[in-house]
Amino acid sequence: MRRLPVFFVIDVSESMIGEPLQQVGKGIRSLMQTLRTDPYALETVYLSVIVFAGRTKTLVSLTDLVSFYPPQLPVGGGTSLSAALRHLMREMESTVVKTSAETKGDWKPIIFLFTDGAPTDDTEAALQEWEAKYRARTNLVAISVGNNADAKLLGRLTDQVLLLNDAYPESYQRFFKWITASIQTQSQKVETSANDQFQVEKLDGSLARKVDLSKPPAHQADENLVVLNARCQKTGGLYLIKFKRQRQTGTNVHHDADWEEWPDVIGETEEPISNARAFALAGAFPVPSLEDYNELTATPSHEQNISTAELQGAPSCPCCGNQFGFSTCACGGIHCSHGPGVNVCPWCGKTGTYEFGTGDSDVSRALG
């Protein structure tokens, strides 16, 4: 039997924590349930899930639909696209059956690559290997979750670069229905016509747009997100505080949330009216597995800091509910606290008397 391999390669960097990761995980579960009811898909489709942050990990190797169990998506630090590409290439070499003189191999693999930002590593060598050896042998769809990814870079992987409107949770549900329908069509086509050239289903323009890669990239802000590592004073658990870049157009400050304001080219934005930066609180999220986070997080070459003057808002603790989720110790660790009075830093273990601070200070930020 010739299999139709489908790989999901998912960015699980710190900036994806919260709604994006939750909705992608939910989408994969929904996709699996629908495909199990399709006789063509049930016969041919095999699924794999690969995640990447600073490092890369296979959560599920190629598995038939009956045996496939949707994994819990972890989170890590950094966005190492080169590591993800190399891992994917090696994974395909070891799991996808090649056609030989004696047997027909698997159908051309379908790959859905989800990412929400620019790589934090040097991708050139991996991109060159992909272009030379794998681009023509695969059907890859690159999905930018939001408009912060590098469209030109993704265009070196595939002609199918999509910009997903992630302003609303239902966007993910509708988008995964589109992915599911595309896989169903492909599984039927390879069985009935032996044609493995992937033709995606018609896409609702309000849901996602195909990026016009012929347009030159416009000015892009250097940073779009800030993520801070913090610990719960009561439980010691790690959580991530996420801030989203605000852009200024004229006298108005807006988030990149309204689809009508989004550019046709990823990275094309209005020039800020000044050089001042502002990041608004997007939420605080507990890290589901510290072991997975450490395994997937790259070690930065140097500490990266940001001034608290650029951060707007402070969360409560998502682990214990402490009102103050953004307190700092003299050791530099960010954690939750009971407020003014005696608190214990879960990073260094020291006890101290805390007060409300005045002025601004620099705090260490994660790679995002």
> Residue 94 and residue 325: Cα distance in Å, rounded?
45
Structure confidence at residue 146 (pLDDT): 74
The fraction of the chain above a pLDDT of 90, given in percent, is 56
Question: Where is pLDDT greater, at 302 or 288?
Answer: 288
Find residue 111's DSSP bridge partners: 7, 140
Cα 277 from Cα 244, distance rounded (Å): 11
pLDDT of residue 223: 57
The pairs formed by 298-302 with CB atoms below 8 angstroms and a separation of 24 or more are: 298/53, 298/54, 298/55, 298/76, 298/77, 298/78, 298/80, 298/120, 298/121, 298/367, 299/54, 300/78, 300/367
The pLDDT score that the predictor gives to residue 233 is 95
d(CA 149, CA 78): 14
Q: How confident is the model at residue 237 (pLDDT cuts 50, 70, 90)?
A: very high
Minimal CA–CA distance to 86: which of 118, 47, 134?
134
**76: its two tokens:** 């890590």
What's the CA gap between 176 and 25, in Å, rounded?
10
Q: Check the CA dihedral 328-235-292-114 and report its sign.
A: negative
| CA-wise closest residue to 326 among 338, 318, 314 | 314
Please say if the pLDDT value at position 267 is more than 80.
no
CATH of domain 4-210: 3.40.50.410
pLDDT number for residue 254: 40
- What tokens were used for 36? 């199990």
DSSP element (H, E) containing 93:
helix 81-95
CB neighbours (10 Å) of residue 102?
5
Q: Residue 278: which region, alpha, beta or left (left: phi > 0; alpha: psi -120 to 50)?
A: beta
> At 248, is the pLDDT very low, low, confident or very high (cuts 50, 70, 90)?
low
The whole-angstrom distance between residue 361's C-alpha and the CA centroid of its chain comes to 29
| Domain positions in the chain | 4-210, 225-365
Q: Which two tokens stand for residue 59?
A: 């959560």
DSSP 76: B
pTM: 0.80
Q: How far is the C-alpha of 134 from the C-alpha of 129, rounded, in Å? A: 8
Contact (CB, 8 A) for 322 and 314: no
Tell me which residue of 242, 253, 254, 235 sits closest to 322, measured CA to CA. Answer: 235
Instruction: Say if residues 354 and 341 touch (Cβ distance below 8 Å).
Output: yes
- 351-354 and 341-344 strand pairing: antiparallel
What are the tens digits of pLDDT across the range 66-83? 999 999 999 999 899 999
Asked if residue 244 has pLDDT above 90, the reply is no
Looking at residue 216, what DSSP letter applies? P
pLDDT, residue 107, reads: 92
pLDDT of 191 = 81
Distance of CA 1 to the CA centre of its chain: 34
Report residue 121 CA to chain centroid gap.
Answer: 15
Check residues 281 and 193 and name the one with the higher pLDDT.
281
pLDDT value of position 206: 74
- The C-alpha atoms of residue 150 and residue 136 are separated, in whole angstroms, by 21
Q: Give the pLDDT band (50/70/90) at residue 261.
A: very low
Mean pLDDT score, 278-294: 92
